Chains A and B, each alone.
Chain A
Amino acid sequence: MSERESLNSQLEHLQMRYVGTGHSDISKYEFLTNQHRDTYSSYVGHNSLLSLFAIAENESMGRVRFNLLHKMIQPCGPSPASKDKKDVLQTIALLLKKGKEVIFI
């Protein structure tokens, strides 16, 4: 019985390590952000696709690549749950400025 559980948990651990995999409680935002990021990296990786887009948008390929890479940061806009995180981020930034070590658990 517990073997099964441990097997499952190992599988989950393994799958968790890959960026882009999901789980039962994933949010729509996160799921779609992953999709978008994968899409952009696929575009950047396949040169012929990239050139198609460049032609369609009438931009240079470098520009298209640049745009796509920039969009990677927040492909779907800000996260819906980001409000409370901002405070945390601010405090961390403050601490780092002061030269203190911040350990991320």
Chain B
Amino acid sequence: MTVETDKKEISEWDEPTNKSGLGAVGATPRRNRWDETPQKMASSVVAETPKRRSRWDETPVQQMGAQTPRIGMAGVGGITPLGGGVTPLGGMSMMTPLPGSAGSSSVALKIEREIDDRNRPWTEEELNAQLPSDGYEILAPPAGYVPIMTPARKLMSTPVGVAGTSGGFFIPEDQPRVSGGAGDQSLEDQERHLLVKVIDRVLYKLDDLVRPFVRKILSVIEPYLIDQNYYARVEAREIISNLSKAAGLASMTATMRPDIDSPEEDIRNTTARAFAVVASALGIPSLLPFLRAVCKSKKSWQARHTGIKIIQQIAILMGCAILPHLKSMVEIVEHGLNDDQPKVRTITALAIAALAEAATPYGIESFDSVLKPLWYGIRQYRDKGLAAFLKAIGYIIPLMDARYASYYTKEVMTILVREFKTNEDEMKKIILKVVKQCVGTEGVEAQYIRDEVVPEFFKQFWVRRMADRRNHKQLVETTVEIANKVGGAEVIAKIVDDLKDESEPYRKMVMEAIEKIISSLGASDINPRLEEQLIDGVLYAFQEQSTDETLIMLQGFGTIVLSLGVRVKPYLTQIAGTIKWRLNNKSAKVRQQAADLISRIAVVMQLCGEEQLMSHLGQILYEYLGEEYPEVLGSILGALKSIVNVIGMTKMTPPIKDLLPRLTPILKNRHEKVQENCIDLVGRIADRGADFVLEREWMRICFELLDMLKAHKKGIRRATVNTFGYIAKAIGPQEVLGTLLNNLKVQDRQNRVCTTIAIAIVAETCAPYTVLPGLMNEYRIPELNVQNGVLKSLSFLFEYIGEMGKDYIYAVTPLLEDALMDRDPVHRQTACSAVKHMSLGVHGLGCEDALIHLLNYVWPNIFETSPHVINAFLESVEGLRTALGPTIILQYTLQGLFHPARKVRDIYWKVYNMLYISSQDAMIPAYPRAADDGPNTYTRYELDYMSDTTKDKKDSDKKQQISKRKKREDDEIISIQDALNDHVDAQKELYEEAVDQYKQNWGDEDKCTFDKGYITQPVYACKDCPGTFGFCFGCSMQCHLDHDIIELFKKRAFRCDCGTKKAGSTKCILQNNKVGADDNTENQYNQNFSGKYCYCKMTYNFEEDMVQCLFCYEWFHETCIKLNSNIEIPDLDEMSDFICGDCILKNQFLVNYPNIRLFANTDDHKDHTEKDKDDKEKDKENGNLKRKVDGKDEEHNNNNIKKHKKDDEIVDVITVSTTTTTTTNNNDNNDENVKKEEIVVCKWNKQLKGLNCDLFCKDGWRNMLCRCGECMKHYETQKCMFIFDKPSESDDDDDGEKSKKEDKTPPNLFTEMDTVFKKVIPAPQQDTLLQGYSAMKDKLSALFASKQQSSEVITKQDIQAIFSELAKKKQAK
């Protein structure tokens, strides 16, 4: 068309000033097409379409005629099942319908045509109309030029055919099933792959709804299960698997059931395989009942056959996953061994073989039932049947234990040997396999094999015929197995001559066998004669080989030489000659192989001491570095590498300083093998011989290597990165690092990524502290790429350095914090992966605090939806789990598991499942307690056996306090930090104590209180002064300042005894003459003054809690009271006072009082109630029992005092039973009271005799005391009037009211040192103190300085030396 129009148009354009052309153009009919109605257009287009169609009809889509309108519709509508993009819309819309298509499609047709029209290329007239007419010249296209339009269109439209089969939705019913929708057109790989993807997505979306279409889909897909192409089979399996998950078992079985006994073999075959896929997708147990039924079918043997085949396919497909169901599967098939039909028997045997193969080495018990039938079968049957049975036996024997195995082997071997002569391939394969399995079992003896098997075996099997592709692998394996049993040399001896055989494939097979034997068994049992034969044969085979597949020869040669080791020395010259000869060969492959051989035997050459030979070879190889063929060049480089490795850098010829510059240009070579080998070699030199090369050279190489970082092949990238590391180590990391950091700003992503890896490698080889500061500093650049690059680097860095990371984790944490809080998700994602690598590296090394801190920043990313970020998050949580333990992560996870929002729950359950799968056992103790709930009990009570949940809080607090006082042992080694902390703690304690003390008003420290007479004051005793006497606070500060003083706290009615007769010779400094000092007789002394306390008479132990008796002011241990009492003591804080046993004895009235709580023993309670009543009655008889105290209400308690059965016991049990209170409201009727009180009989007189117990008094007990006249007199005589003194004067108030009145705030001793100093310390002593302090300070600082210089540890002796020096000086003064 264009050609024709061209001719027309040229004439128009040739008129330079023809402006009417525009107008002319405007008048062309084409112009009007926008106004035309579709019918007109249709008519005008029809004329065109034949031409068009002729071009575009070259598509092979003819049969799909009926389909196309629908597709066209779909194309127009925009909903294409093919989302992949292979079929562009243009192609779709180019689908021309066939003439005479259905009426409904005509509209679509017209629309299509319209679109076609709109989208078709412009004609010249139209172009003329658009473009300006002058200012340019139109050139004529060259002669013979035809624009290529058709092929592209053609390409684009072919996939439409595939679209017809997509999803199976559009397959008409009448399509033949076996050939499927793809019968005539073969799907290319990509198209099929696309098909799979499409179906996958569709199935996922449809789920249940796909059930009606199962049949159709299966009919299309099943043929692919037996396709030649491996990937086709894989994809078919995937589709069926997804289909079964979507549609469910019932519909799958219902659909496929009729095919099971179909007359056609193929269909049954594919159906069996399809069923196997269904079983693997939905689980074997779901299918087993169905299979059981099928295999027992009495209808047709085909059904049984297929059923058993399904079992076979399941075993082949699923492998060892069948183990849990092995027994049931064997049970299903075992009856088939005795079936009438030979085919059924055969397939059963094959199925059993597959099951046994899958179950190896377990499961022999399940096969017990089939052994006998198999046994008989071997004897009975022939040919295929026999082959199958033999196969089954072959697979079962390795499962047996040694004894049975040997027995069975012997039995079966006779038959096997008989069958060696067979001609059938299948049989041969099976026999070889069975022989291999039998020979391999434990109980079979070598001698037996040697005698029975070996001769026939080699005779029958080691023939040229066997050297074809299918058999030779099995033969080689079996031979190797035999060699393992009887010895390598024997087998080699049998086949070594065949190395010189004429047939090359046969030679290759022999070589392969020998190579495998030697590599597994070694060459130690090869005698010299055999050795000669061997080397001879190998050389011959090597030289005679054609150039097809040279690997086997190479491999064999290498292995043999390596294992012979030093023994190969006499042959080395010959070998080297061969190599040199072949290096010159015109064929590239030969040269390559020769170079490869060098790399393999370099080590042996070194071993044999042939260094000269190697240098020579090195020189030759160096000259070949100009090689053009890249493969050969690569091999040469490899050979050089191996020689360099072996000879060493110093002795290498050519010398390294010549070699490396020769290598540098080769780095630019494009071929991958060359690149890899070159980089490797350079890296090796950098590693070992960096000194031979200038630094500048290394930097140059570095720059070149930067490009290699983005190579396609992973091996090259890895080699590059390693080499980077070596070079960095050689020339120092700073320059390299500078280059790399600059690279981070590059646009090219791959470059940047590789740079990050290189940075990490440099860090690993040159220690991270050389890299990290610069790297972290780079983060400050506000460029996204750079920051992400830094983070990525860190991630790789921590991955590589592993445990070294524990030293750097704290330094890097602030940077990661910042990144984890960043707005950009990529920052967070990369930081998460950095955290993951960090945690995996430092796990177990004590950095948990940093990791928990980072976890807190990582965790908020849990709600991210972007897959990269959420993946990074999940992985970092995994990493943190390994480092921190699942318990901590579980605490975080529990919060969201039952959250009301589903979105929250979803992701939290994902995390929980992850935790669960990886560390389920460890979470057992960490699960939270759950409350019981009706009939369900959720407590796991066993764990409570071991946990102590009834802790007393106060006890625990006290224990904590005690434990705080860390007592360090003398030779415990602590850090300076710890020492300082201890010191500060100790100072704090002391300070607090001092504050406490300060608040208490002990009295005047300058005055002795002797003149005040007998007062209540704090009393002290002195251990140092002879005699025991007590003195006042003032004396304690003056007279006994440096003595060992015992503090006895407040005492009633005490006069300072310092300087009195009691004190003996010692004088009181404060008050020299104490008037009336001769008799301080009223002072009461007790054992406390001599430092002994309590019943146990021990010296003061500050850890024991003590109570003071109210009367005698003696101190008693709590524990001793407990011991004495032998009954539970009430809570001391509830008791306000304590009275010791001795004082009770003296003051018996105390015992009788209500509300004075004593030790209550609940057992005796019951007994006493009766007595209670008795006594009550008694007392009633006697008179008024009611007691009153000044009109106040009183609880009337019947006190029953029961003497304990054992009178010896110190403590008596007094039960208190409360009865109703008597309420007499007579207040203030003194007369009456007096009268009543007079009547009152004090009970205690009668009943208390010899009572000796400790008494604890409750609050307010003083009010309960009887104030009757008699009692008061008694009190006076007993000198107990003090009881009635107000409690504010008692000992309870230590730091309470009085101190509040005083309102003294102690000076902050640490900050007001000067004032305190001058105040506290007397003037003459200030100077000495200051001098002494400065001297000490000088000495100590001198010591520290000297120790620092010599970097020694400061020892105790040093300090003591200093102080002894100072003391000497002092004495000298």
A interface, CB within 8 angstroms of B: 2, 4-7, 9, 11, 13, 15, 18, 20-24, 26, 28-29, 31-32, 35-36, 38-39, 42-43, 45, 52-53, 56-57, 76-78, 80, 101-105
* A–B Cβ pairs within 8 angstroms, 10 of them: A2-B201, A13-B245, A23-B909, A28-B930, A39-B927, A77-B936, A78-B936, A80-B936, A102-B289, A103-B290
- Tell me whether B1189 is interfacial, beta carbon within 8 Å: no
Docked-complex contact B867 and A4, CB < 8 angstroms: yes
- Tell me whether B910 is interfacial, beta carbon within 8 Å: yes
Given A22-B913, A23-B909, A101-B293; A2-B204 close (CB under 8 Å): yes
Closest approach, in angstroms, between the C-beta of A27 and any C-beta of chain B? 10
Given A9-B204, A15-B913, A103-B290; A76-B921 close (CB under 8 Å): no
A78 touches which of B204, B921, B930, B935 (Cβ 8 Å): B935
- Tell me whether B945 is interfacial, beta carbon within 8 Å: yes
Instruction: List, in ascending order, chain B residues with CB within 8 A of A45's CB.
Output: 921
Given A101-B293, A103-B289, A103-B290; A21-B945 close (CB under 8 Å): no
Given A103-B250, A105-B250; A22-B912 close (CB under 8 Å): yes
Instruction: List, in ascending order, chain B residues with CB within 8 A of A77's CB.
Output: 935-937
Docked-complex contact B867 and A7, CB < 8 angstroms: yes
CA distance A7 to B868 in the complex (A): 12
Instruction: List, in ascending order, chain B residues with CB within 8 A of A43's CB.
Output: 942
Instruction: List, in ascending order, chain A residues with CB within 8 A of B245's CB.
Output: 13
Given A24-B902, A35-B927, A39-B924; A5-B204 close (CB under 8 Å): yes
- Tell me whether B906 is interfacial, beta carbon within 8 Å: yes
Closest approach, in angstroms, between the C-beta of A5 and any C-beta of chain B? 7
- Tell me whether B920 is interfacial, beta carbon within 8 Å: yes
Closest approach, in angstroms, between the C-beta of B932 and any C-beta of chain A? 9
- Tell me whether B905 is interfacial, beta carbon within 8 Å: yes
Closest approach, in angstroms, between the C-beta of A105 and any C-beta of chain B? 5
Which residue from chain B places its CB closest to the CB of A50 in the assembled complex?
A: B942
Docked-complex contact A42 and B921, CB < 8 angstroms: yes
CA distance A101 to B940 in the complex (A): 40
Number of interface residues, chain B, beta carbon within 8 A: 40
Closest approach, in angstroms, between the C-beta of A88 and any C-beta of chain B? 17
Closest approach, in angstroms, between the C-beta of B348 and any C-beta of chain A? 22
CA distance A32 to B939 in the complex (A): 10
Instruction: List, in ascending order, chain A residues with CB within 8 A of B913's CB.
Output: 15, 18, 21-22
CA distance A31 to B908 in the complex (A): 14
Closest approach, in angstroms, between the C-beta of A85 and any C-beta of chain B? 16
- Tell me whether B454 is interfacial, beta carbon within 8 Å: no
Docked-complex contact A52 and B916, CB < 8 angstroms: no
Instruction: List, in ascending order, chain A residues with CB within 8 A of B201's CB.
Output: 2, 6
Instruction: List, in ascending order, chain A residues with CB within 8 A of B898's CB.
Output: 28
Closest approach, in angstroms, between the C-beta of A30 and any C-beta of chain B? 11
Which residue from chain A places its CB closest to the CB of B287 in the assembled complex?
A: A103
Given A7-B867, A77-B937; A24-B250 close (CB under 8 Å): no
Docked-complex contact A38 and B909, CB < 8 angstroms: no
Instruction: List, in ascending order, chain A residues with CB within 8 A of B200's CB.
Output: 6
Instruction: List, in ascending order, chain A residues with CB within 8 A of B914's CB.
Output: 15
Docked-complex contact A22 and B909, CB < 8 angstroms: yes
CA distance A20 to B902 in the complex (A): 20
Docked-complex contact B917 and A18, CB < 8 angstroms: yes
Docked-complex contact B936 and A36, CB < 8 angstroms: no
Docked-complex contact B945 and A53, CB < 8 angstroms: yes
- Tell me whether B286 is interfacial, beta carbon within 8 Å: yes
Docked-complex contact B920 and A38, CB < 8 angstroms: yes
Instruction: List, in ascending order, chain A residues with CB within 8 A of B912's CB.
Output: 21-22
CA distance A2 to B197 in the complex (A): 11
Docked-complex contact B290 and A24, CB < 8 angstroms: no
Closest approach, in angstroms, between the C-beta of A55 and any C-beta of chain B? 9
Docked-complex contact B909 and A24, CB < 8 angstroms: yes
Instruction: List, in ascending order, chain A residues with CB within 8 A of B945's CB.
Output: 52-53, 56-57
CA distance A63 to B942 in the complex (A): 15
Instruction: List, in ascending order, chain A residues with CB within 8 A of B293's CB.
Output: 101
Closest approach, in angstroms, between the C-beta of B129 and any C-beta of chain A? 44
**Looking at chain A's contact residues, is the secondary structure mostly helix, strand, loop, or mixed?**
helix
Instruction: List, in ascending order, chain A residues with CB within 8 A of B935's CB.
Output: 77-78
Given A22-B897, A24-B905, A102-B289, 10 extra CB contacts under 8 A: A6-B204, A26-B909, A28-B933, A38-B920, A39-B927, A57-B945, A77-B936, A103-B250, A105-B248, A105-B250
Which residue from chain A places its CB closest to the CB of B205 in the assembled complex?
A: A2
Docked-complex contact B910 and A15, CB < 8 angstroms: yes
Which residue from chain A places its CB closest to the CB of B901 in the assembled complex?
A: A24
Closest approach, in angstroms, between the C-beta of A45 and any C-beta of chain B? 8
Closest approach, in angstroms, between the C-beta of A65 and any C-beta of chain B? 13
CA distance A31 to B940 in the complex (A): 14
Instruction: List, in ascending order, chain A residues with CB within 8 A of B924's CB.
Output: 38-39, 42
Docked-complex contact B910 and A11, CB < 8 angstroms: yes
Given A9-B204, A76-B937; A52-B902 close (CB under 8 Å): no
Which residue from chain A places its CB closest to the CB of B201 in the assembled complex?
A: A2
Q: Which of B870-910 contact A (CB under 8 A)?
A: 897-898, 902, 905-906, 909-910
Instruction: List, in ascending order, chain A residues with CB within 8 A of B933's CB.
Output: 28
Instruction: List, in ascending order, chain B residues with CB within 8 A of A52's CB.
Output: 945-946
Closest approach, in angstroms, between the C-beta of B151 and any C-beta of chain A? 33
Closest approach, in angstroms, between the C-beta of A7 and any C-beta of chain B? 7
Which residue from chain A places its CB closest to the CB of B945 in the assembled complex?
A: A56
- Tell me whether B1063 is interfacial, beta carbon within 8 Å: no
Which residue from chain B places its CB closest to the CB of A11 in the assembled complex?
A: B910
Q: Which of B217-254 contact A (CB under 8 A)?
A: 245, 248-250, 253
Docked-complex contact A76 and B938, CB < 8 angstroms: yes
Instruction: List, in ascending order, chain B residues with CB within 8 A of A28's CB.
Output: 898, 930, 933
CA distance A57 to B933 in the complex (A): 25
Instruction: List, in ascending order, chain A residues with CB within 8 A of B902's CB.
Output: 24
CA distance A61 to B886 in the complex (A): 29
CA distance A35 to B942 in the complex (A): 14
Docked-complex contact A53 and B938, CB < 8 angstroms: no
Instruction: List, in ascending order, chain B residues with CB within 8 A of A26's CB.
Output: 909
Which residue among A7, A11, A52, A105 has the maximum number of chain B CB atoms within 10 Å of its CB? A105
Closest approach, in angstroms, between the C-beta of B834 and any C-beta of chain A? 23
Which residue among B204, B906, B913 has the maximum number of chain A CB atoms within 10 Å of its CB? B913
Instruction: List, in ascending order, chain B residues with CB within 8 A of A105's CB.
Output: 248-250, 286
Docked-complex contact B917 and A21, CB < 8 angstroms: yes
CA distance A28 to B933 in the complex (A): 10
Give 6 nearest A-B pairs by CB, closest first. Answer: A24-B905, A77-B936, A21-B913, A56-B945, A15-B913, A76-B936
CA distance A11 to B295 in the complex (A): 36
CA distance A5 to B201 in the complex (A): 10
Docked-complex contact B910 and A20, CB < 8 angstroms: no
Which residue from chain B places its CB closest to the CB of A77 in the assembled complex?
A: B936
Closest approach, in angstroms, between the C-beta of B943 and any C-beta of chain A? 8
Instruction: List, in ascending order, chain B residues with CB within 8 A of A2's CB.
Output: 201, 204
Closest approach, in angstroms, between the C-beta of B270 and any C-beta of chain A? 23
Instruction: List, in ascending order, chain A residues with CB within 8 A of B920's CB.
Output: 20, 38
Closest approach, in angstroms, between the C-beta of A70 and any C-beta of chain B? 14
Closest approach, in angstroms, between the C-beta of A63 and any C-beta of chain B? 14
Which residue from chain B places its CB closest to the CB of A5 in the assembled complex?
A: B204
Which residue among B253, B289, B909, B923 has the maximum number of chain A CB atoms within 10 Å of its CB? B909
A20 touches which of B867, B897, B906, B916 (Cβ 8 Å): B916
Which residue from chain A places its CB closest to the CB of B898 in the assembled complex?
A: A28
CA distance A22 to B890 in the complex (A): 14
Docked-complex contact A36 and B916, CB < 8 angstroms: no
CA distance A94 to B290 in the complex (A): 19
Docked-complex contact A29 and B909, CB < 8 angstroms: no
Closest approach, in angstroms, between the C-beta of A36 and any C-beta of chain B? 7
Instruction: List, in ascending order, chain A residues with CB within 8 A of B289's CB.
Output: 101-103
Instruction: List, in ascending order, chain A residues with CB within 8 A of B946's CB.
Output: 52, 56
CA distance A79 to B239 in the complex (A): 38
Instruction: List, in ascending order, chain B residues with CB within 8 A of A18's CB.
Output: 913, 916-917
Instruction: List, in ascending order, chain A residues with CB within 8 A of B930's CB.
Output: 28, 32
Instruction: List, in ascending order, chain B residues with CB within 8 A of A38's CB.
Output: 920-921, 923-924
Instruction: List, in ascending order, chain A residues with CB within 8 A of B910's CB.
Output: 11, 15
